[in-house]
Structure formats: structure tokens, C-alpha cells
Amino acid sequence: MSSTLAKDCKSSIIPAMRYRDAHKAIEWLVTAFGMEKKAVYDAPEGHVMHAELTFGNGMVMIGSVVNGGEYSKLISQPDEIGGRSTQSICLIVTDATAIYESAKAAGAEITGELAEMEYGGKAFGYKDPEGHLWSIGEYDPWAY
């Protein structure tokens, strides 16, 4: 199968996440990790219909959990399944120690302490305030 990558697309895979308080989650991710708000679109009711946060050449799309919404019916939140996650977002950084300290200062629940990894670089894991699992590391799989 040939690639059908959109012309000039910077990232062909972009995670999409839902948060109960998407506005608060966006501010937390900006403060804790230096993500940048590319776009935030609010619904007339005040919830986040769609937001785009960038970090380097990557992006995560965020929206509010909308009870009764068709898309929200397909996604479980960590607090609905015993605090577990069904996926993890991986953020590649140049200085995992600095991000680790920033995450701790922002109140992240550390799930894996900062450690040197056998495959290269330092890494750690955490849960954001709504329980979504993130992995932060210096290992760049594109470098090999």
C-alpha cells in the first residue's frame, strides 16, 4: 500500500484526547511542559470542541468530554475504568530531567521515576491531573 500522506503534513499521526475539563488540561500541559496553543475552538456552551497543542514538530488534539456526544461514547476516561489508561502518549525531549522537575512541580502523578534507559537516554512516566498516562523520554526512535 502506498503512502497517502497529505502534502506538507508535519506529523502524520496526531493523538486526540478527551478531558472533562479541557480548558484546565490545556493550561496544565502548557505550564507543565511548555506546549504551545496552536488553536482552541470553544462550543457556544463553553466546552472545548477542538484544540491543538504543539510541542516541537508534534501535536496533540484535545476536546472536552461531552456527555451524550457520539465520539465521547467511544472513549473511556481513566476515572471510568479504575484509573487505568488504554494508551500512552510519548513525548520526545532533549532534557528529561528538566521536564521531570517541571512535571513534579505541576503536580503530576509520577508513575515511573526518572531513570537511564538501556536503549538510550533518560525517561519517566506520569499521569496528568485527569489520569491520562504519558511517557517522557530522550530516546529518539527516528535517530536510528
Cell of 143: 535517530
Kindly report the CATH number assigned to the domain that includes residue 104.
Answer: 3.10.180.10
Domain-embedded: residue 33: yes
Domain-embedded: residue 75: yes
What share of the chain in percent tops pLDDT 70? Answer: 95
Contacts of 111 (CB under 8 A, 6+ apart): 125, 126, 127, 133
CA atoms of 47 and 15, how far apart (whole Å) = 19
Domain-embedded: residue 6: no
Domain-embedded: residue 7: no
DSSP tag of 31: H
Domain-embedded: residue 133: yes
> Strand 109-116 vs strand 122-127: parallel, antiparallel, or unpaired?
antiparallel
Work out how many domains the chain is built from and give that number.
1
Give the tens place of pLDDT for each residue, 38-55.
Answer: 999 999 999 999 999 999
CA atoms of 61 and 63, how far apart (whole Å) = 7
Q: Quote the domain boundaries for residue 111.
A: 16-143
Q: Which residue has the higher pLDDT, 75 or 9?
A: 75
